[in-house]
Amino acid sequence: MSDLIIAVYRSPPPAFHAGESLARLQQAAGTEPEDIVVVTRDTSGRVTINQSISLATGEPQAGGRWGALLGLLFLDQRKQQATGNGIGAQFRAAGLDDRFLQDVARGLQNDGAAVAMRVRLLGKDRVIDALQGLNGSPKILWTRLSPEAEAALVDMQMQIPETVPGNPAAIGEP
């Protein structure tokens, strides 16, 4: 079992600082690195996903797929419909809590940012305590993933291409 934790900030600098702090927390704890993603929404509403990068390999942590999947939570701001077939419907079918999905979709305002991560070995409470101890007063959202939901999300990750169509470079390569 694991948890998805998202800390929503009013501006990008505290979110990037929080992402760096979480990476240091992982390193200090000696745990396996998890994807940490900072998602920003500019003043025009455009969303950008900023992956955590391994300094040793120059590639996204954990292959980058968890980070990409977490970033997708912010892309679909349309009104959620129970019978829809968009990304929100896929997350619900995977077992994510509907209220969590709605809170995430509404949480990221223009010119705001959020840091998101899947937590296994560090523990939810340790990560939330670290986030609350930082400047920026984040709104913290989290949900517990059942083993079935986690397996369904891994299946969704397998649908994320390793390369961008029309671009032979692998995702995450400089």
> Is the separation of the CB atoms in 6 and 91 below 8 Å?
no
Helix 12-29 and helix 124-132: axis angle, to 10°?
A: 140
26 occurs within a structural domain:
yes
Structure-block tokens of residue 68 = 């990409």
Residue keyed to tokens 């999300």: 153
161 occurs within a structural domain:
no
Residue 172 confidence (pLDDT): 43
According to DSSP, the residues that pair with 38 across neighbouring strands are 50, 115
43 occurs within a structural domain:
yes
Helix 87-94 and helix 147-157: axis angle, to 10°?
A: 140
Structure-block tokens of residue 122 = 């560090």
171 occurs within a structural domain:
no
> Is the separation of the CB atoms in 153 and 30 below 8 Å?
no
170 occurs within a structural domain:
no
100 occurs within a structural domain:
yes
74 occurs within a structural domain:
yes
Residue 163 confidence (pLDDT): 58
18-29 average pLDDT score: 87
Question: How far, in Å, CA of 18 to CA of 67, rounded?
Answer: 15
118 occurs within a structural domain:
yes
pLDDT digits 0-9 by tens, 46-104:
888 887 655 444 455 555 667 777 777 777 655 555 566 677 778 888 888 888 888 88
**Read out DSSP for 28-97?**
HHTPPP--EEEEEE-TT--EEEEE-B-TTTSSBGGGGHHHHHHHHTTT--SPP-TT--SHHHHHHHHT--
* Full domain range(s) for residue 71: 2-156
Residue 108 confidence (pLDDT): 86
> Is the separation of the CB atoms in 75 and 88 below 8 Å?
no
First-to-last CA distance in the chain? 33
Q: How many domains does the chain have?
A: 1
